[in-house]
Amino acid sequence: MALLALCALLCSVSCKHKAAWEEGKKVAHFSVRAKLGTLDPIRSSSTYDNEVQSQVYEGLYTYKYLVRPYQLEPLLAKALPTVSEDGLTYTIDIREGVLFHDDECFPGGAGRELVAKDFEYSFKRMADAHNQPTGWWIFQDRIAGFDDFQKRMSERGDAAFDWDAPVEGLKASGKYQLQIKLVRPFPQLLYVLAMGYSFVVPRECAEYYGDRFSNTAIGTGPFMLRTWTRGSRIILDKNPSYRDAYYPSEASPEFQDMLGDAGKKIPFLDAIVYHVYEQDQPMWLKFRVGDLDMTQLPAEYHEAVFNKDLTLRKTFVDAGIRNYNLPLLDFIYRGFNMEDPVVGGEKNKYLRQAISLAWDTKELNDAFYNNTCVLYDAPVPPGLDSYVAGVTSPYRGPDLERAKALMVKAGYPEGKGLPHLLLETSSGGNTEEQAEMFARALKEIGVQLDVNINSFSELSTKLKKKKAQMFGLAWGADYPDAENFLQLFYGPNEAPGSNNFNYKNPAYDALYDQSRTLQPGPERTAVYQKMREILIEDVPSFGHLARTRFYLWHGRLKNVLPDETFDGWRKYVNIEEQD
């Protein structure tokens, strides 16, 4: 009741604190729930990095803002590609007249025109180990000659990277034309070309700033970097040289009421300010007093804000608060490092199965997510091909008796002889409380669990270096295809790639290779389901949840349709100033 009273009080408060430079401008204040690690797209290690990068940088394709299910559309490309009959060669025409942001790295400080060579260079950056790329897996074994190019460059040691060395499957075939030739058909290629890893950067700027390039951002996007105060905030200004682009005129039936600005030039905002909050309470309070225009709702405030039918309580509606409940293509899990001698490998499968059976995901959902998550087995969330509803894993808990029996088979009856296990997790929100719940559950079967709390960047570093024995994490869809989740367990994607589990199973890898060339349909679904079954038995991860994210914003914001599959939608947000 005290929380409800506090929220009611804050609803009556409107104390938007504006800095002097904001006067007379449309400035939106957003929050991110972890420190940003980098502004370099190929080094991105979190959704928070990508969210900010997506306002500054752009790729060839993006998603239609108001259309569901998701549909791709051209962004820096002029149109969807021309594809050869064998599905191997993609010819992409680039928009003419697109300018990079003005910056001192260019002669005279004026941003030059984007050309196809910029994409050739930007993709090659992924093959340069000195750049510490985190997204090589999106191109690995897909573009003709690219893996060989990467190998040859890595063998050069400290010698200068040869940016002009040709790659058979990647070349600018004209000033405004890019050609990509694949090793084998890859139906998800356009999704990859819409990802942040595929954003275009100018060569002269990357070379001018060198090691500092990760701290700056020069792209073609609707906003440009003003300042970044690490751990605190980042300010983006409207790009005065942004090309003619317009608010969409196409919308699915449920979003028809968002077409009021159809055909108007974007972006509408003069600036965006991102505020970093690693703890939820200060973020929430800043939103309630109007210092944040929009935020995600922390789970602990759910009952104070929503009715049981997930509509806003009247107090918030009357205060002009708006909301959108976004079902995520989401994979929350606890995972094992399969190279760890205690929990990894085939020999320790019974231990992993026992741990999974000791964990009560329903209790987790109730205690920390207000029963708003979908529980599922294997890594493919609801809404994607091969998702199976209900309990399909014999190792979904809680079943303490079977867990104890498996501890005996693992060689650790009642936990005897088993060293303490270590869970690595990140700070913020209620992750510490969740970890404590997990530790209590494992104690019931004799497993002693220690917990180490990291910043998100520290956890990411440990995962990339294979230093985490067990870990708790979430993976959001890079694109709306089950392959994006199944690739998390593909052996060649081991850390520092996307396979944080360092899971390697020849049977699984063979099925994954088979699925890569298959178009959506029954044959591919059958292969995906076989892969699911292997993962369910081997238990490299468990306790899977798909969340609903609850977004709230003050009524002065218009055109808000939150999404986490693509982050470039802030350019459509408008502000309607209120008295």
3-state SS class at 431: helix
* Overall average pLDDT of the 497-506 stretch: 95
- Between 370 and 12, residue with greater pLDDT: 370
Mean pLDDT of the chain: 93
Q: Which of 445, 469, 468 is nearest to 458 (CA)?
A: 468
pLDDT bracket for residue 578 (50, 70, 90): low
What pLDDT is stored for residue 8 in this prediction?
44
Question: What ranges do the domains of the chain cover?
Answer: 58-220, 236-325+552-575, 330-546
CA dihedral 341, 431, 389, 138 (to 10 degrees): -60
Using only C-alpha atoms, the chain has a radius of gyration, in whole angstroms, of: 24
Tell me: cis bond preceding 267? Omega within 30 of 0 counts: yes
What pLDDT is stored for residue 16 in this prediction?
62
Instruction: Note the pLDDT tens digit of each residue in 93-133.
Output: 999 999 999 999 999 999 999 999 999 999 999 999 888 89
Q: Crossing angle of helices 431-443/349-358, nearest 10°? A: 110
Calpha distance 526→43 (Å, rounded): 34
* Overall average pLDDT of the 502-506 stretch: 98
Look at the domain 330-546 and name its fold.
Answer: Dipeptide-binding Protein; domain 3 (3.10.105)
Bridge partners of residue 179, in order along the sequence: 91, 171
pLDDT at position 143 over 90: yes
Q: Crossing angle of helices 2-11/280-288, nearest 10°? A: 40
pTM of the model: 0.83
Distances in Å between the alpha carbon of 36 and those of 55, 63, 234, 466?
A: 14, 24, 9, 22
* Overall average pLDDT of the 191-213 stretch: 95
Chain-centroid distance of CA 260 in Å reads 30
166: which DSSP letter? -
pLDDT at position 9 over 70: no
* Overall average pLDDT of the 495-523 stretch: 93
pLDDT at position 363 over 90: yes
Q: Which of 498, 533, 537, 530 is nearest to 514 (CA)?
A: 530
pLDDT bracket for residue 12 (50, 70, 90): very low
Calpha distance 466→405 (Å, rounded): 30
Instruction: Note the pLDDT tens digit of each residue in 277-314.
Output: 988 999 999 999 999 999 999 988 999 999 999 999 99
What pLDDT is stored for residue 428 in this prediction?
73
What pLDDT is stored for residue 361 in this prediction?
94
181: amino acid identity, one letter: K
Tell me: cis bond preceding 202? Omega within 30 of 0 counts: no
pLDDT bracket for residue 240 (50, 70, 90): very high
Among residues of the chain, what percentage have pLDDT more than 90?
82
Tell me: cis bond preceding 133? Omega within 30 of 0 counts: no
* Overall average pLDDT of the 421-447 stretch: 92
242 phi, psi to nearest 5 deg: -65, 140
Instruction: Note the pLDDT tens digit of each residue in 365-394.
Output: 999 998 999 999 999 999 898 999 988 899
Give the range among 12-16, 86-90, 269-273, 501-505 with minimum mean pLDDT.
12-16
Calpha distance 475→489 (Å, rounded): 12
Give the range among 18-27, 150-159, 257-266, 536-545 with minimum mean pLDDT.
150-159
- Token pair, residue 345, equals 């490998």
- Between 157 and 514, residue with greater pLDDT: 514
pLDDT bracket for residue 11 (50, 70, 90): very low
Bridge partners of residue 295, in order along the sequence: 552
- Token pair, residue 248, equals 């969409």
Calpha distance 102→310 (Å, rounded): 46
Calpha distance 8→5 (Å, rounded): 5
pLDDT bracket for residue 259 (50, 70, 90): very high
What pLDDT is stored for residue 511 in this prediction?
97
574 close to 269: Cβ distance less than 8 angstroms = yes
Bridge partners of residue 563, in order along the sequence: none
What pLDDT is stored for residue 338 in this prediction?
98
Distances in Å between the alpha carbon of 270 and those of 94, 237, 402?
A: 27, 6, 59
pLDDT at position 7 over 80: no
Q: Which CATH class is domain 58-220?
A: alpha beta
Calpha distance 496→502 (Å, rounded): 9
SS in 3 state form for 481-535?
A: CCHHHHHHHCHHHECCCCECCCCCCHHHHHHHHHHCCCCCCHHHHHHHHHHHHHH
pLDDT at position 473 over 70: yes
Chain-centroid distance of CA 158 in Å reads 33
pLDDT bracket for residue 55 (50, 70, 90): very high
pLDDT at position 2 over 90: no
190 phi, psi to nearest 5 deg: -65, -35
The burial class, CB within 10 Å (0-12 / 13-18 / 19+), for 353 is: buried
Chain-centroid distance of CA 161 in Å reads 30
